[in-house]
């Protein structure tokens, strides 16, 4: 393995000797290339793009009203009143008819709820960081994914999240999620819910968590 | 690090063996097609399951992909239904399905069982980031993420040119990739994997391995074919190529079809066995016009033709004809005199029918169509005559 490494690196260095300074400078000061123009304010652009990605959204004033917003979503779609929730949200009190669990999701779990690290107005995307309290499988295994996003965490372009990501050690996984899972592999016909969630629902929160 | 396909496959097999794996998941990856990983894994005794729906379909059909973005684009829903009917009996699905939502739902159920019981997940990488050591994976189905998250070992196989310096650089390329590949501003899932699960994480793989495959790429660096290393495998050149549209992906004979394949395949394999690929092009230039990385594909195809000539791969008759044409074309007086004689002769010979159904030295051309007879005058002749009249 090591001989392959040195042989490959020797060939690369032979051709790009002078360019190693350029690469070093780029690594030290990451530069942003062209970005698409935003057509509206952050919130309007974000929600329009969320809808375009076949996801849905709702808005609440504070965290305490989230359980009722989740309950409403579940009943509206006639889903089981069972949710798997990320552990940062244990302080919320849920309606008694609902079953809530704070654990790693299983394949048959119907709905998950977790908090987004950021939202991207450019594309209507949600940025999820894997953490002990919020495992990656919450984003993928259940058929319904409810994501909480504080309005102040909506940024204009994808690049805006990188300086914030660099402030901490990188997590195992960063997922940038834009709408539900989809495939067009049979006769180029779009179908939602290929392997991941069939529904993605964003709940925007006005007041950030203290 | 792997210099050859064989070495890459051996390393994957030995990793799977240390994980004591039985079931190995794969997320769609062109480099694993290039190194023929699936047959190697099957031969080593592992059960290999493709998890991208298109790849899963062609795995059942035992065919190679026909498009780098939509591998099963050549299959109709009836053909897919027949495959599922044949292979899904064992999972309790006894009925033949007819509509696409049902087919997708059934594949989801069958593959979900595979996901939760697999030991190793193998993915490719759309980009590798030097700054953070991260692997970027782009999917719409979420199969890549489940393959990378559920099994206890995640193996990434990536070719060297996937490496970019920073997160910002990857972002720029991601914008180009989505738009050029599927017309999306961004795919449903863009994921950045960095290392194995952290100590307190409650999911994710215990082990994370990255295998960097060269397979001839470092030799292209700084060569006349350098630009093909910019390719991000979006498939735009395939979608706009009249040749690809007419003959389909399988006709290219290997894993990379279309204009990018016609350039890359001869460079990764050899010039002799792939000699038809650079020739099968009218060099119309649509591929270069739509390439988000501005790779000069027609120029690279022409350079391959030059190499054919230099390495005596071009047939002798063609070489002679080219040499003769070159000699004449460099002498305008001689060229004009000869063409004038030829056009006049053809004009006289063809004046009754107005076309030729047979021409010497052009038998293959006239085999399927007639050659219209010229009017008996060359452009240069007519031009000079007009100039004389005008003055």
* pLDDT averaged over every residue in chain B: 94
- The reply to whether residue A32 touches residue B168, judged by beta carbons under 8 angstroms, is yes
Half-sphere exposure (CA, 13 Å, Cβ side) for B389? 6
| pTM higher than 0.80 | yes
Using the predicted structure, report yes or no on whether residue B157 has a pLDDT greater than 70.
yes
Q: Which of A9-18, B54-63, B167-176, B292-301 has the lowest mean pLDDT?
A: A9-18
Q: How confident is the model at residue B359 (pLDDT cuts 50, 70, 90)?
A: confident
- In eight-state DSSP terms, residue A170 is P
Contacts with B79 from chain A: Cβ below 8 Å? none
Catalogue the long-range contacts made by A23-31 (C-beta closer than 8 Å, 24 or more residues apart): A23/B130, A23/B165, A26/B165, A26/B166, A26/B169, A27/B130, A27/B131, A27/B165, A27/B166, A30/A162, A30/B131, A30/B165, A30/B166, A30/B167, A30/B168, A30/B169, A31/B168
Half-sphere exposure (CA, 13 Å, Cβ side) for B387? 6
- The reply to whether residue B188 touches residue A182, judged by beta carbons under 8 angstroms, is yes
Which of A185, A191, A200 to probe the B interface (max B CBs under 10 A)? Answer: A185
| Separation of alpha carbons A72 and A203, rounded Å | 12
**B318-325: average pLDDT:** 90
What pLDDT sits at residue A152? 97
Q: Give the rounded percent of residues in chain B with a pLDDT score beyond 90.
A: 82
pLDDT of A37-60, one tens digit each?
998 999 999 999 999 999 999 999
Contacts with A173 from chain B: Cβ below 8 Å? 145, 148-149, 191-194, 204
- The reply to whether residue B71 touches residue A185, judged by beta carbons under 8 angstroms, is yes
**B136-149: average pLDDT:** 96
User: Residue A33 is nearest to which of B165, B172, B222, comparing CB atoms?
Assistant: B172
pLDDT of B226-246, one tens digit each?
999 999 999 999 999 999 999
pLDDT of B39-75, one tens digit each?
999 999 999 999 999 999 999 999 888 888 888 989 9
User: Residue A173 is nearest to which of B200, B204, B221, comparing CB atoms?
Assistant: B204
| Whether A10 contacts B1, CB under 8 Å | no
| Whether B161 contacts B217, CB under 8 Å | yes
Neighbours of B37 (CB within 10 A): 23
Closest CA to B98 of B78, B68, B76, B126: B78
What pLDDT sits at residue B85? 95
Which of B189, B193, B194 to probe the A interface (max A CBs under 10 A)? Answer: B189
Closest CA to B243 of B255, B229, B260: B260
Q: How confident is the model at residue A17 (pLDDT cuts 50, 70, 90)?
A: low
What pLDDT sits at residue A18? 65
Q: How confident is the model at residue A1 (pLDDT cuts 50, 70, 90)?
A: low
Q: Which residue of B lies nearest to A175 if distances are taken between CA atoms?
A: B191
| Whether B162 contacts B126, CB under 8 Å | yes
Q: Which residues contact A64 (CB under 8 A, 6 or more apart)?
A: A92
| Whether A95 contacts A126, CB under 8 Å | no
Is the model more confident about A65 or about B355? Answer: A65
Helices (H), chain A: 2-16, 20-28, 42-52, 66-76, 161-166
- The reply to whether residue A194 touches residue B218, judged by beta carbons under 8 angstroms, is no
Q: Give the rounded percent of residues in chain B with a pLDDT score beyond 70.
A: 100
CB pairs A-B closer than 8 Å: 218
Find the farthest-apart pair of alpha carbons in chain A and give their distance in angstroms, rounded. 69
Which of A12, A137, A195 to probe the B interface (max B CBs under 10 A)? Answer: A195
Contacts with A175 from chain B: Cβ below 8 Å? 145, 189-192
Q: How confident is the model at residue B168 (pLDDT cuts 50, 70, 90)?
A: very high
Using the predicted structure, report yes or no on whether residue B271 has a pLDDT greater than 60.
yes
User: Residue A191 is nearest to which of B104, B150, B198, comparing CB atoms?
Assistant: B104
3-class state of residue B302 by DSSP:
helix
Does ipTM top 0.85?
yes
**B151-174: average pLDDT:** 97
What pLDDT sits at residue B81? 95
Q: How, if at all, do strands A182-183 and A191-192 pair?
A: antiparallel
Q: Which residue of B lies nearest to A15 if distances are taken between CA atoms?
A: B222
| Separation of alpha carbons B19 and B25, rounded Å | 13
Q: Is B285 exposed, middle or buried (0-12, 13-18, 19+ CB in 10 A)?
A: middle
Q: Which residue of B lies nearest to A189 if distances are taken between CA atoms?
A: B100
**B254-264: average pLDDT:** 96
| Separation of alpha carbons B226 and A96, rounded Å | 64
Q: How confident is the model at residue B15 (pLDDT cuts 50, 70, 90)?
A: very high
Q: What are B209's strand-pairing partners?
A: B155
């Amino acid at each position: 393995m090591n001989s392959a490494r040195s042989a490959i690196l020797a060939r690369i260095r032979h051709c790009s000797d002078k360019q190693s300074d350029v690469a070093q400078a780029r690594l030290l000061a990451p530069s942003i290339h062209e970005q698409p123009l935003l057509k509206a304010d952050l919130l309007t652009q974000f929600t329009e793009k969320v809808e375009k990605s076949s996801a849905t959204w709702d808005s609440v004033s504070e965290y305490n009203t989230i359980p009722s917003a989740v309950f409403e979503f579940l009943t509206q779609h006639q889903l089981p009143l069972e949710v798997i929730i990320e552990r940062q949200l244990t302080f919320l009190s849920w309606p008694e008819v609902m079953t809530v669990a704070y654990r790693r999701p299983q394949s048959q779990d119907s709905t998950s709820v977790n908090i987004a690290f950021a939202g991207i107005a450019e594309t209507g995307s949600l940025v999820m960081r894997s953490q002990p309290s919020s495992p990656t499988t919450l984003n993928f295994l259940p058929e319904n994914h409810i994501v909480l996003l504080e309005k102040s965490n909506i940024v204009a372009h994808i690049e805006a999240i990188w300086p914030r990501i660099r402030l901490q050690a990188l997590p195992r996984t960063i997922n940038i999620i834009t709408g539900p899972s989809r495939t067009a592999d049979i006769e180029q016909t779009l179908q939602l819910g290929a392997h991941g969630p069939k529904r993605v629902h964003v709940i925007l929160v006005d007041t950030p968590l203290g | 690090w792997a210099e050859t396909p064989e070495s890459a496959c051996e390393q994957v097999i030995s990793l799977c063996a240390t994980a004591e794996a039985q079931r190995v998941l794969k997320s769609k990856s062109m480099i694993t097609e290039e190194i023929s990983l699936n047959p190697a894994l099957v031969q080593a005794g592992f059960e290999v399951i493709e998890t991208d729906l298109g790849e899963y379909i062609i795995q059942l059909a035992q065919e190679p992909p026909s498009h780098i973005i939509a591998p099963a684009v050549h299959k109709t829903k009836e053909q897919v239904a027949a495959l599922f009917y044949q292979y899904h009996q064992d999972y309790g699905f006894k009925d033949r399905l007819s509509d696409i939502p049902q087919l997708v739902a059934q594949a989801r159920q069958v593959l979900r069982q595979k996901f939760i019981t697999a030991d190793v997940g193998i993915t490719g990488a759309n980009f590798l980031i030097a700054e953070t050591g991260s692997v970027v994976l782009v999917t719409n189905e979420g199969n890549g993420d489940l393959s990378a998250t559920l099994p206890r070992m995640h193996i990434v196989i990536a070719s060297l040119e996937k490496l970019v310096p920073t997160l910002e650089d990857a972002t720029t390329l991601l914008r180009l990739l989505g738009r050029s590949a599927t017309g999306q501003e961004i795919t449903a899932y863009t994921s950045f994997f960095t290392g194995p699960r952290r100590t307190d994480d409650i999911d994710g793989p215990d082990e994370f391995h990255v295998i960097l495959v060269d397979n001839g790429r470092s030799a292209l660096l700084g060569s006349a074919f350098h630009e093909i290393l910019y390719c991000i495998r979006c498939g735009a050149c395939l979608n706009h190529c009249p040749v690809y549209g007419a003959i389909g992906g399988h006709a290219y004979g290997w894993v990379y079809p279309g204009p990018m394949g016609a350039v890359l395949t001869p460079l990764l394999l050899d010039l002799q066995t792939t000699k038809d690929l650079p020739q099968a092009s009218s060099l119309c230039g649509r591929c270069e016009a739509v390439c988000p990385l501005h790779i000069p594909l027609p120029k690279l195809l022409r350079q391959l033709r030059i190499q054919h000539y230099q390495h005596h791969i071009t047939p002798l008759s063609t070489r002679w004809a080219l040499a003769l044409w070159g000699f004449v074309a460099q002498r305008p007086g001689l060229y004009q005199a000869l063409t004038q004689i030829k056009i006049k002769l053809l004009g006289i010979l063809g004046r009754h029918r107005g076309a030729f159904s047979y021409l010497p030295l052009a038998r293959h051309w006239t085999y399927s169509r007639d050659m219209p007879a010229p009017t008996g005058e060359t452009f240069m002749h007519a031009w000079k005559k007009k100039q004389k009249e005008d003055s």
